[in-house]
Structure 1
Amino acid sequence: MSDNKSYILGIESSCDDTGAAVIANGRVLSNVVATQEIHREYGGVVPELASRAHQQNIVPVVHQALRIANIDKNQLSAIAFTRGPGLMGSLLVGTSFAKSLALGLQLPLIEVNHMQAHILAHFIKAESQSAPSFPFLAMTISGGHTQIVKVTDYFDMEVIGETLDDAVGEAFDKSAKLLGLPYPGGPLLDKYAQQGDSKRFAFPKPKVSPLDFSFSGLKTAVLYFIEKETKANPNFVAENINDICASIQFTIVDYLMDKLKNAVEATGITQVAIGGGVSANSGVRNAIKEAQEGYGWTTYIPKFEYCTDNAAMIAMVGQLKYERNDFSSQAIAATPRMKF
């Protein structure tokens, strides 16, 4: 790698957000995200519609990212893209575009694991964000994943606990849907929860092995609870929405923290970082901050814009791989079930 500044273009298209970002030596110059509103009508992400929207968005999003970064495409050093995991159709759009652009500009191509990127987003150089030192524990929590990862080095990661069924983000969204809240319901549930009494209603925490998660039983418990209460009082949800949301959120966050405590005890590692879309949840962020004071952990919470799906984290991984000359061939293919 030369001493000159390297400009990495990151492209993210794993689900329903089309993202492009430019990073220079760890600092974000632009981070553009086009969110697809069409899925609200269907109460969830429709894969076919998502891939079509990516096709419409990707060129203007990349163009805007370059414009905001104030660089020309010919100044780029490499193209990084999300290879997986994610929705196949969505990944194909980003992968195909990245390969074509890299080929046309004769630039190195860098594949990125989306879940690794959520963890390595902590290494983006930004105000009010410090990076953990190795080793540390990372809890990646999103709509599609729930994992506890032991991170020994940038690309030496081991999943030591994960969900056996649904992801935590899905548990938030499905619970919100049961309450009649529109998609995406997780952020709305969080909003109502902040006004409610978290101890008003009790929900069970699933019992599985110490480092693993399960959320399907919790969703079923919420369903039966609402059915029972609305049978007695049809206006129950409307009259108690804040307390119901607060109680559900408290149960989920407390469950996440139980698992983190187990992981710290099992590994002896007290540096703890969170990542993924659900790390934007106020309950999770507060619990992590409290753990720093209560348990003596050193905790790391990414800036809000690096929690949800974004291309800055893809570009950050691209930067790290570029420094290691870790490039991909043009034969690379999108991998929806990509592992660490």
Structure 2
Amino acid sequence: MLIGVPKEIKVHEYRVGLTPAGVRELAAHGHQIIVQTQAGVGIGISDALYEAAGAKIVPDAAEVFARAEMVIKVKEPQAVECKMLREGQVLFTYLHLAPDPEQTKGLVDSGAIAIAYETVSDGRGGLPLLAPMSEVAGRMSIQAGAHAMEKAQGGNGVLLGGVPGVAPAKVVVIGGGVVGYNAARVAVGMGADVTILDRSLPRLGWLDTIFERRLTTLYSSVDSLENEVSQADLVIGAVLVPGAAAPKLVTRAMLKTMKPGAVIVDVAIDQGGCFETSRATTHQNPTYVEEGVVHYCVANMPGGVARTSTFALTNATMPFALALADKGYRKALLDDANLREGLNVSRGKVTYKAVADTLGYAYQPAEEALKA
């Protein structure tokens, strides 16, 4: 199979879909790889390193999209990239379609086979291709939030861990999944007063045990959420409904009860955000203030630590990329129900139910689409 890797074009996005090690692995299986020039330069991967691994360097994205049977990316295709996709071409990347009707229409119109990293499953309720970026985003959320709390950044001037004789910041983490756990881990390590809310009692029990009662666990209800948010210096939104738009758990009314200069970090912004007042921002302009609260809603947070993120992501995606290349997308998806969960759009049909329901498309089950 001919596999193409374009340079990412989203603002301040320096990650890349394949590392040289990934190129070498695919080449060892007999596949050809073309990489757009300078695709990895932002994280210290030169064209020469890709060539040494077996890739051919091409001058622009147009050639990558025109020639490749499968395109491997990191971020969702931008409008100009959607127009370069063609019928039957495989796109393997993050998509986050539920809050993005324009991208969904672009993919449907293209006739491409769009497989989303974020909905590939592991059979145990986990999301193995989302997990590494969730780990990164969870850990980053605390350092980003701590920076935004500085007075010069518009925050309330509270030091996350406090000092002897002065109370630490109160950090509230909404959601106890991969993002929430990693956010809590960093916040606890920095000495903050941490509360984590979730609706899974087994998960809360696990968190209570793993943190050895160094944080507070609470069952998430409207009442507990309202109370905790009103007292918080920093709130991390770490809610996920796989493939679907995030629920708006924190309302504008709740936001109005927060301390002036308090900070929210909405890690769920890729799926539309879990705060009513959230709107996507970029690394170039990461924050804005609404109702006196600083909002950090960067939609590609792991792109801020692009080198770490690229290597973590490609470690996870490689087995699936190999399966798609070795078997062809149809057989690979039919053989593996977990990989098949990643199929969101196939030849003009929406094949992921949460996306179809959210955006009003007719739903065609992935298996049915593949056998059609």
TM-score, with length taken from structure 2: 0.31
TM-score, with length taken from structure 1: 0.33
Higher helix share: 1
